[in-house]
C-alpha cells in the first residue's frame, strides 16, 4: 500500500517566505508516514467563471485541479495579509472549487498553520481560511490550533527552526495532523 500524499499550499509567493520555511520543516516531520508535495500557486490566473463557462479554461487551472484531486490531504501554511488569507491562496481555493459540483477539495482532511512576524501568529488568516474551507467540505483539524507568532525570530538563515518550544509544538501539530488524516481517510 502506498503512502498517502499531503499537498502543501503556501500562502506566500515571496522567495524567502517564512510560511514556506515552516511548511518545509513540518513536511520533514511528516515524511516517515506520508509523501508531501508543495503545490505551486503562483502560475494560476485569477479566477473568473467566464473561462470555464466559455470552454477556455486555462491549462494551469486544469493541471492544478488534476494535481489537487489526486491528493489525500491538504496542509495550508499561510501568512496573514490585512487580517485575511492572501489572495493567492483564496484564488487557489476558488479555482479548485469549480466547475460547480466538481470541487477537488470535497471530503478530504486538512490543516492550517498561520505565521506572522507579529505576536498574533496570523490569527485572522487562520480563521478566514477556516471559514472558506468549511463550505468546501474540507475536514479541518480543530486541535491543536497553530499560530506561529514572531516567526522571523525563530528561524536561522537556512530556514531551520531555532526555538525548541516552537519545534516541539510543530511536532505535536504534525503528529495530531497525521492521526487526523488517518482517521478521516480510513472512515
Question: What are the grid coordinates assigned to 32, written together?
Answer: 516517515
Is pLDDT larger for residue 81 or for residue 2?
81
Q: What is the pLDDT of residue 1?
A: 56
The DSSP letter of residue 161 is B
Q: What is the pLDDT of residue 181?
A: 97
Q: Which residues neighbour 159 within 8 Å (Cβ) at sequence distance 6 or greater?
A: 20, 21, 24, 25
Burial state string for 8-31 with b = 16 or more CB within 10 A and e = fewer than 16: bbbbbeeeebbbbbbbbbbbebbe
Q: What is the pLDDT of residue 185?
A: 77
Q: What is the pLDDT of residue 93?
A: 98
In the chain, the domains with their CATH numbers are 5-185 (3.40.50.360)
Mean pLDDT of 27-55: 96
Mean pLDDT of 64-81: 97
At 108-164, the pLDDT tens digits run 999 999 999 998 889 999 999 999 999 999 999 999 999 999 999 999 989 999 999
What pTM value is reported for the model? 0.96
**C-beta of residue 86 within 8 angstroms of C-beta of residue 14:** no
Amino acid at each position: 500500500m502506498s503512502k498517502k500524499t499531503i499537498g502543501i499550499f503556501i500562502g506566500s509567493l515571496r522567495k524567502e517566505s517564512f510560511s514556506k520555511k515552516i511548511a518545509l520543516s513540518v513536511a520533514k516531520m511528516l515524511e516517515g508516514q506520508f509523501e508531501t508535495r508543495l503545490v505551486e500557486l503562483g502560475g494560476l490566473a485569477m479566477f473568473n467563471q467566464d473561462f470555464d463557462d466559455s470552454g477556455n479554461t486555462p491549462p494551469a487551472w486544469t493541471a492544478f485541479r488534476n494535481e489537487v484531486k489526486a491528493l489525500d490531504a491538504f496542509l495550508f501554511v499561510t501568512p496573514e495579509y490585512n487580517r485575511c488569507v492572501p489572495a493567492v491562496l483564496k484564488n487557489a481555493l476558488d479555482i479548485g472549487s469549480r466547475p460547480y459540483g466538481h470541487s477537488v477539495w470535497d471530503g478530504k482532511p486538512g490543516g492550517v498553520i498561520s505565521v506572522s512576524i507579529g505576536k498574533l501568529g496570523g490569527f485572522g488568516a487562520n480563521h478566514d481560511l477556516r471559514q472558506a474551507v468549511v463550505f468546501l467540505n474540507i475536514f479541518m483539524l480543530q486541535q491543536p490550533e497553530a499560530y506561529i507568532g514572531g516567526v522571523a525570530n525563530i528561524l536561522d538563515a537556512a530556514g531551520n527552526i531555532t526555538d525548541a518550544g516552537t519545534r516541539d509544538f510543530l511536532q505535536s501539530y504534525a503528529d495530531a495532523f497525521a492521526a487526523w488524516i488517518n482517521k478521516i481517510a480510513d472512515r
